[in-house]
Amino acid sequence: MTHASPATASADSVTRYRARRRHQRRLIAGLAVLTLGMCLADIATGPGQYPLQDILAALVAPGDVSQTLRVIVWEIRLPVALMAVLVGVSLASAGAEMQTILNNPLADPFTLGISSAASVGAALAITLGVSVIPLAQPLWVTGNAFLMALGASLFIWGISRLRGVSVQTLVLMGIAVMFFFNAMLGLMQYVASAEALQQLVFWSLGSLGKASWDKVGLIAAALLVTLPVFLHAGWRLTALRLGDMHAKAMGIDVARLRLRMLLCCSLLAAMAVAFVGTVGFVGLVGPHIARLLVGEDQRVFLPVSALSGALIMSLTSILSKTLVPGILLPIGILTALIGLPFFVSLILRSRREVWG
Amino acid sequence: MTLDVERLECRLGGTPVLEGIAGLTARAGEITALIGPNGAGKSTLLKAIAGIERATGSLRLNDHDLMALPFEKRAEHLYYMPQELSSRAVLSVFDVVLLARRTRIREPLEQALEQVRDTLVALELEPLAERELGRLSGGQRQRVAIAQAAIREPALLMLDEPTSALDLHHQLQVLDWLARFAHERQAIVVVALHDLSLAARFAQRMWMLANGRVAASGTPGEVLTHARLREVYAIDAHIEWPADEPPRVTPLTAIRPLGR
């Protein structure tokens, strides 16, 4: 945590606090600008090479550019770039809150098997045409993904409430959940038709390629619902980091808070999986960066986690298009390659019982 | 203003931990020391009053029937300070004290910041305001927890062994400060303590527990007797009440194993 403060050590505590808050606000603004820049770079990157000013012109005044460029920017690249940002925000926010409520730095929708569960839900709709709850057909994939993600979250939540359950047990349980749902996914792949199989591969590798405006709208709506819930519970979530007993002493209904937050996390994870497939470790790395930069005060921890997640996803989107010229690499593979070293370093840190 | 405890029973995992707790009174402006050996039920009693542990019986804080209030509502009137504050949270001292204020009192932020500063100054914590909890000593963290408790301005403040990790200077400083807090705010302060000399010096009343029951309650002079220390703590002790000095309880020998 960097409590960088331009104020002198002799300044009173309120002055030093205000200086730190100013620094944090500047950091958040800086990350937001960086994310915007990365998003623009993402839009400017693709098989067709266009000068940046043409891309900007297409964004600002679509009527003034060629129809081809307009279609490329507005129908293909912009939804993909926005989806990358929104999925990054969703996964990192969900990861940040899961780490908070489960008191576990290794928790994120991917490591705890929630993304795998959502994938199975999506696969049920694709291969078997099954909807777990009665919904309009276009929502089957999302609805199934949400319910399965919720089921997996509640299972993990139930396990976390048992006496004597350590951080390591919880992560191992998450791996067990992941194995179970991966086996279910394997089974569905085995029985799937060739067309359905192709779509299933999309879930397991993760791709921004099927982004569209309606999907962007849906995931933005999910964020509009969940982020205010997270922000409203900010102080209570920060209190939870002091331990359950301290939070209860402050009159916080810890069990209800955990359940409500898990519900929101499941929704975000399910949306991300339903639209771009399984994307691992963004929910782990985003909060990890935020913790190092600003600590765990939710007023800054959440926005910095979310923006870090957005930056990682935007960067991954650019890399997926540029690493191997002419080939669009699945983003799930790239986030795994970036995220795994973080995961290993966190396991080694938790071995020293940083969180216990 | 008083806290009255009658017929309080509490079971943890089916095992009775508090049985027939009755006749306990704590008054505003005073420190009430809660004493008793390990496992006597001191922490459980404080948690039961706070509503964190489920209990049956009668709890009255002035005109409020605490039993009728869920623990979230009780937290508006009282605060229970647990024994330990986590050292794992990546939060500064200023943040956690501000957090305790913001989860209790709605007021403009500026006002809350001033309150945090005043509380940190009073507890000699201001130089540590920007330090992370994980980089504090156990005693410093304990004082941060006390700052959290105080800044919520509870009518009833219950502290679970608040001096267990403190050096001699800070033990006196914290208990002096609690005495002032009780007097100036006319708050009821109940403190679980192991050091009987400190308890006798600072408390106006004492609750002594043994095996989940009340062994004695009253003034320190009434509660701390040779016979009772033999019975409850299984020790022989030298008890002095000098006229111009603080009382002294010096343990001499353990006379038998201590257990339920």
Band of the pLDDT at B259, cuts 50, 70, 90? Answer: low
- Torsional sign, CA B149, B153, B159, B165: positive
Q: What is the pLDDT of residues A224-238, one digit of tens each?
A: 999 999 999 999 999
Percentages of chain A per state (helix, strand, coil), in multiples of 5: 75, 0, 25
CB B207 within 8 A of CB B32: yes
Nearest to A204 by CA among A267, A285, A273: A273
Helix (H, G, I), strand (E, B) or coil at B79: strand
DSSP structural state of residue B188: E
Minimal-distance CA residue of chain B relative to A4: B130
Instruction: Assess whether pLDDT exceeds 60 at residue A157.
Output: yes
Q: Say whether residue B103 is in contact with chain A using an 8 A CB cutoff.
A: yes
Is residue A259, in this structure, part of any structural domain at all? yes
Q: What is the pLDDT of residues A237-273, one digit of tens each?
A: 999 999 889 999 999 998 889 889 988 998 898 889 8
Per-residue buried b or exposed e for A328-338, using 16+ beta carbons within 10 Å of the residue's own CB: ebbbbbbbbeb
CB neighbour list of residue A76: distance below 8 Å, 6 or more residues apart: A46
CATH of the domain at A223: 1.10.3470.10
DSSP structural state of residue B129: T
Residues of B in contact with A356 (CB under 8 A): 88
Complex ipTM: 0.90
Distance in angstroms (rounded) separating the CA atoms of residues A216 and A208:
11
Question: Per mean pLDDT, which of A254-263, B8-17, B198-207 is the most reliable?
Answer: B198-207
Contact: B75, A3; criterion CB under 8 Å: no
Cα A350 to chain centroid distance, Å, stands at 22
Is residue A72, in this structure, part of any structural domain at all? no
- The parent domain of residue A214 ranges over 78-351
Minimal-distance CA residue of chain A relative to B114: A14
Q: What is the pLDDT of residues B62-106, one digit of tens each?
A: 888 999 998 889 999 999 999 888 888 999 999 999 999 999 999
A275 burial via Cβ count (<10 Å: 0-12, 13-18, 19+): buried
Q: Say whether residue B81 is in contact with chain A using an 8 A CB cutoff.
A: yes
What is the bridge-based pairing of β-strands B31-35 and B205-210?
parallel
CB B218 within 8 A of CB B206: yes
Residues of B in contact with A12 (CB under 8 A): 117, 126
Nearest neighbour of B72 by CB, restricted to A235, A251, A355: A251
- Identify the pLDDT of residue A9: 46
Please name the fold of domain B2-86+154-254: Rossmann fold (3.40.50)
- Torsional sign, CA A336, A342, A346, A347: positive
Distance in angstroms (rounded) separating the CA atoms of residues B222 and B206:
9
For the record, the structure tokens of A261 come out as 């937050």
CB B214 within 8 A of CB B208: yes
Q: A78-101 vs A298-322: helix axis angle to the nearest 10?
A: 140
The identity of residue A283, as a single letter, is G
Domain ranges of chain B: 2-86+154-254
